[in-house]
Amino acid sequence: HPIELVDFCTRAVDQMKVTTSDRHHIRLIAHTDKISALMDSQLLRQILNNLFSNAIKYSPQGGEITLELSTESEPVSPHIHQPSSLVVFRIKDPGIGIPQQDLQQLFESFQRATNVGSIRGTGLGLAIVKKCVELHGGHIEIESEIARGSTFIVKIPLQTPSYEVMLAEI
């Protein structure tokens, strides 16, 4: 059944705030009214938790991490515009950033960037995130600048209740 994303993200952010106990500031910026989406709440939780945990792990103490929630409409043709056909989650951090040449492989299991230094990790989080996004027919991309920060952008089509079909295929 559908979940309401503004409430869902508010709760996810509130829980993350408790987890980080003031070492980082986490904020939700909702550019939309309530959006109901046919998403699997456990998979969405996996997506947000993994992206938040990375944002926290790869950013300095006191840094501000934001989750921006918005909708977009994909033009079907130059003349026909559907109302809000995509929901967009942007998780932004002021962290170490990712070298351009490492971006491609990061969604594969056990791949880590070359600038992680002594920060520990297994390299599985983003592989899980990508799987969860694709199960909803969506996609994920990264914008990042070394030593400035990273933004993970997840786009999920709102009119695709197909994840149930895809889940059945696993």
Residue 144 or 158 with smaller CB distance to ligand ATP: 144
> Reduced to 3 states, what is the DSSP secondary structure of residue 101?
helix
3-state secondary structure 77-93: CCCCECCCCEEEEEEEE
Measured CA to CA, the distance from residue 111 to residue 128 in angstroms comes to: 12
Find the binder of Mg ion among 125, 129, 133, 156 (CB under 5 A): 125
Q: Binding string to Mg ion for residues 35 to 74, with x set by CB under 5 A, is what?
A: -------------------x--------------------
Residue appearing with tokens 């309530």:
34
Residue 3 or 127 with smaller CB distance to Mg ion: 127
List alpha helices for 21-162, DSSP H.
41-57, 125-135
Positions that interact with ligand ATP (CB under 6 A): 50, 54-55, 58, 93, 95-98, 106, 112-113, 116, 121-127, 150
Positions that interact with Mg ion (CB under 5 A): 54, 125
